[in-house]
Structure 1
Amino acid sequence: MEIDEPLSPGGRLFVQPATHQIINSVFGLEQPITLDALRTVISSSLLIKHPRFSSLLVTDNHGREHWRKTEIDINHHIIIRSNPVGEGDNDEEVVNEYLADLTVSSPLTTDKPLWEVHLLSAHKCLVLRIHHALGDGISLVSLMLTLCRKLDDPEQTPTIGPLTSSRQKHKNSGTLESILKLVKMVWFTLVYVFEFMMRGAWVKDGKTAVRGGEGVELWPRKLVTAKFSFEDMKTVKSAVANATINDVLFGVISSGLSKYLDSRSPDSLPEGLQMTGVALVNLRPSPGLQDIKELMKKNAGTAGWGNKVGIVLLPVYYHRNRSDPLQYLKRAKMMMDRKKLSMEAFLSHQIGYFVMKYFGAKVASLLEYKVICNTSFTISNVVGPREEITVTGIPITYMRATSSSLPHAITMHMVSYAGKADMQILVAKDIIPDPEKLAKCFEDALLEMKQHAVQT
């Protein structure tokens, strides 16, 4: 008889009502996939062989959550939508509307393992819904990609590029430089951890036209897609020494939000107004596809799997002066350099673990919920395959992801794939009624930075 396995602390956090999270990924296809082909590829994949994907979520008499092994019936996990799921001729808008509804009103039932595949034949796409308690986003992307194969080499599974930073590391630092770096690390850590704790207490962003708050996670949602060229992002990155793609992303967000706020509330906001984002940071080495295969071959259970994540607060600022759009990138890079030098992510994880251990998962969940209520947006960036890939031999045209709604009025998730970077922007439509304009502001911000980078 197999013994139930307790959820990890991170997994327990994601099943609490205040911080309940489901990852909704969508794979666009060149042509519709048949039900038989989909059933076959899932049956033979590592997806259903992983213990998390063949376990029920159960709660014991003390209110503790556990995983319990069960038999899988794949037919119960495939949801067939043969007819169009909405009105209109634009597949992207219809699929985004379908996903937006899922983020608010469609939890996963606990009478089966916490994942589903929705087959939207009329719109040539697959929607994968996976509960965040099963693992962190990067690991789940790696596992999902075992369903796929490379377009130019159908026998090979896709690969994900290294997640290392492009910052230059100086191995032979002098003693004085090392001491200065240590002092900066201690200082920034103290400042950022203090700010994190204050965000969980009472400190909040100033009121703007894009800020949500308590209860907003229940409001109706709308989802739009901002589309970027990865080459454009690399061109902008090269204009500032040692910048990264994440720096470019936050520069684009800062510039785009400034543009959007100008259209909503011109001349009413103070220069330099802070809008704070929340990002979850993976604190352990992310398993690649080969590592997952080896894990399954060795029957190593779920060692190394789970949700070991920390929270990082990422401020961006409202500015009117856009004569040099690269200033947004330079400010973002300075902020990101300081964040990476600090131990904010690690210590925020430790604070959450301490609270969960001594006060329980509900209190830890309410702490994170309070941090979200007191900030302005959620942001994530996941690196996908660089090459084109297929599922059951059908080329995948795009990969996108979003998550369950949060108290934030704006949630942004960017996924790069085959030279493109698509950012899903989920908004509370009663607060942001025109998210298409917001997406255009982000796209225009990148193009302005690119033009300036090419000219300088």
Structure 2
Amino acid sequence: MVTRIPAASQGAHGTHATAAAAARPPRTPGLPPAARKAATAVQKNVRRAATGMLGLSGERMSKVDTAWLRMDSASNLMMINGVWTLAPGITWEALCERVEQRLLQYPRFRQRVLEDAAGATWVEDRHFDLSAHVLRETLPHRKGRSMQRALQDRVGELAVQPLDPRRPLWQMHLVEDFVGEDGQAGSALIVRIHHCIADGIALISVTLSLVDGGAEPPQRKSRAGQNAATAEDWIADALIKPFTGLTVKALDLAGDGAARSFKLLAAPEKAVHHGLSGTADMARVAYQLVSDAAALALMPDDSTTRLKGRPGRAKRVAWCPPIPLDEVKAIGKALNCSVNDVLLSCVAGAIGGYLRSLGDDPTGQEIRAMIPVNLRPMEEAWKLGNRFGLVPLVLPIGVANPIERVYAVRERMNALKGSTQPLLAFAMLAAAGLMIKPAQDALLNLFGRKTTAVMTNVPGPKEALTLCGARVTQCMFWVPQSGDIGLGVSILSYGGGVQFGVITDTTLCPEPQQIIDAFAPEFAQLSLLTLMLPWGE
């Protein structure tokens, strides 16, 4: 829960004053300056961690969002990367004006993150500079390489460049002069947003506020915690005061006092009496951790393929032209399958075909893909944050017959319907957000050991969008992979078409375009075989 204490409501004798007084170093005659300086530093750090721990300054980051914040690794940064192509082109000035009018209405995009011992807090960036977030890009021209390939290479480079932690965790890179594969002159927009800000479904809401005619985001109501004063009094008495002694004895006592205070966080029934609202759910989530982790650990390992292994530190992306959504629906109707069944079957076929093209035999092999499942009503997507679970889907990459493969996918998708696994995965992420990073890594690496890919299927706008007067001709995005997962697959429906995109670690898959090139033939083969099936009267 978020606890806010409006600054205007705190008088000279309010709780902020109480905490400040508790933190003020007492004057101790004869204390060496070095000791006084060290003690003051300790007080400041403890006060920052303590107030941040309960969200008493800024807005406390949720446990799940904290897990995503801490999940960055050298091989996989937790960024959602997206690309829009626009025709005709737009200017950097027009984009900046639109971002200022619309995107910055969401507080998250003006806030930076402050981490502390117990988590993280969203705080306003007092030195916010829009030019540090909306950047101009010029793609390098190389003989024999198209601008599309140059754009793909640049997206791959940016996917491994961390966002500046001193600023809000997002950036847009505008290529003002871009010519796509269709020969149309226009612009390209690369977007990078850290996953701790929002998930893919929530970012659709952000997208719809940016485009021409988009509505401004609803205004979030400020919520003041009912136990705010009590909570800050507790901090002043139990955490800050023990650190105000400037002698060695006082610092020793402070260590015991801090230990007792932090113990309250592990005992919610005691913490409630000290004004710590919202910690009971912490215990409930943690209670599920052992059983959920055990169930995940018992999943059989994936088949060993060249797509699984330890990733390096370079990424590459690729995407295909849109496939008409009506054609996908027609195949699904003829085979009594969902659109998802059809698309995921083609993905499995493309991956299997890619492995065959390299001389591997995927017959009988399967790989597991973690698929996000939305857990919130769409009307609440504007609130941002992460509200999704994960289900493990085993893809039959070794089944060569497209009809047989689509029915195998349908059977596995049906088995997941009504499953509690998305909720359990969400609870595990929440529990991971409570842990120190080494413990969190150990838990989340379970996903990586059992998984080859992360796969997302997001329904985008049905009608074509315009931005600053330019039509959005294509849009694509890629969600991050965690741990040692080196393959990300994205499916996005938009404007009557469906796009398929891949992001790969170059150590495991140097040329993702080869997977993309296998997708359209797989779809065409499935479509042809569907037409050849006997039709009833």
TM-score (norm 1): 0.79
Using the TM superposition, give the Cα deviation of residue 440 of structure 1 relative to its aligned residue in structure 2, in angstroms: 1.7
Residue 388 (structure 1) aligned to one of 455, 464, 468: 464
Cα pair 1:252 1:442 within 8 Å, conserved: yes
Residue 310 (structure 1) aligned to one of 382, 385, 389: 389
Cα pair 1:210 1:410 within 8 Å, conserved: yes
Cα pair 1:20 1:404 within 8 Å, conserved: yes
1:222 corresponds to 2:316? yes
Using the TM superposition, give the Cα deviation of residue 433 of structure 1 relative to its aligned residue in structure 2, in angstroms: 3.1
| Aligned residue number for residue 140 of structure 1 | 203
Change (3 A) 1:53 1:434: closer
| Aligned residue number for residue 334 of structure 2 | 239
Task: Please give the residue correspondences for 1:191-340 in structure 2 after superposition, counting only pairs within 5 Å.
Answer: 197=294, 199-200=296-297, 203-213=300-310, 216=311, 218-227=312-321, 228-241=323-336, 243-266=337-360, 268-269=361-362, 271-287=363-379, 292=382, 302=383, 305-322=384-401, 325-340=402-417
Cα pair 1:205 1:374 within 8 Å, conserved: yes
1:454 corresponds to 2:531? yes
Change (3 A) 1:343 1:272: same
| Aligned residue number for residue 452 of structure 2 | 376
Q: Larger RCO: Structure 1 or Structure 2 (Cα < 8 Å, ≥ 6 residues apart)?
A: 1
Partners in 1 of 2:292 and 2:452 — Cα distance? Answer: 15
1:438 corresponds to 2:494? no
Greater CA drift, 219-228 or 22-31: 219-228
Per-residue CA distance 1:10-42 (angstroms, 9 max, x = gap): 211111134741111111011221122112111
Using the TM superposition, give the Cα deviation of residue 107 of structure 1 relative to its aligned residue in structure 2, in angstroms: 0.9
| Aligned residue number for residue 502 of structure 2 | 425
Partners in 2 of 1:442 and 1:234 — Cα distance? Answer: 17
When the two chains are superposed, the root-mean-square deviation of aligned CA atoms in Å is 2.5
Using the TM superposition, give the Cα deviation of residue 139 of structure 1 relative to its aligned residue in structure 2, in angstroms: 0.6
Per-residue CA distance 1:173-211 (angstroms, 9 max, x = gap): xxxxxxxxxxxxxxxxxxxx9897455478421211222
Aligned partner of 1:281: which letter? V
| Aligned residue number for residue 23 of structure 1 | 80
- Structure number, greater radius of gyration: 2
Cα pair 1:281 1:345 within 8 Å, conserved: yes
| Aligned residue number for residue 54 of structure 1 | 110
Aligned partner of 1:225: which letter? W
Per-residue CA distance 1:94-152 (angstroms, 9 max, x = gap): 11110011112x11102221111111113211112111111111111211221112xxx
Cα pair 1:5 1:68 within 8 Å, conserved: yes
- 5+ long unaligned stretches in structure 2: 1-6, 8-55, 179-186, 217-289
Residue 100 (structure 2) aligned to one of 38, 43, 46: 43
Report the secondary structure of 1:120's partner residue.
Answer: strand
Partners in 2 of 1:337 and 1:120 — Cα distance? Answer: 43
Using the TM superposition, give the Cα deviation of residue 231 of structure 1 relative to its aligned residue in structure 2, in angstroms: 2.4
Aligned partner of 1:137: which letter? G
Using the TM superposition, give the Cα deviation of residue 374 of structure 1 relative to its aligned residue in structure 2, in angstroms: 2.9
Identity of aligned residues (%): 21
Partners in 1 of 2:530 and 2:60 — Cα distance? Answer: 51
Change (3 A) 1:397 1:131: same
Task: Please give the residue correspondences for 1:33-182 in structure 2 after superposition, counting only pairs within 5 Å.
Answer: 33-45=90-102, 47-60=103-116, 62-71=117-126, 72-81=128-137, 83-85=138-140, 87=142, 89-104=145-160, 106-123=161-178, 124-149=187-212, 155=213
| Aligned residue number for residue 190 of structure 1 | none
